[in-house]
Amino acid sequence: MIANEMMDRTDRDGRPSPIDVHVGSRIRLRRTLLGMSQEKLGDALGLTFQQVQKYERGVNRVGASRLFDISRVLDVPISFFFDDMPEGMNETPMSGPRGRSHGFAEAQEPFGVGLDDQLTKRETLELVRAYYRISEPTVRKRMFELIKSLAPADPFPTE
Q: Is this model's pTM higher than 0.75 or not?
A: no
- The residue type of 61 is R
Distance CA 144, CA 58 (A): 34
- The residue type of 85 is M
Question: Where exactly are the structural domains of the chain?
Answer: 1-96, 121-152
Residue 3 has pLDDT above 90, yes or no: no
Query: Cα 95 to the chain's mean position, in Å?
Result: 24
Q: For the segment 120-155, what is each residue's pLDDT rounded down to a tens digit?
A: 677 887 888 888 888 898 998 998 899 888 888 766
**Residues sharing a CB contact under 8 Å with residue 41, sequence separation 6 or more, in sequence order:** 31, 47, 49, 52, 70, 73, 74
Class of domain 1-96: mainly alpha
pLDDT for 155 equals 64
Residue 59 has pLDDT above 70, yes or no: yes
Least confident of 83-87, 115-119, 144-148: 115-119
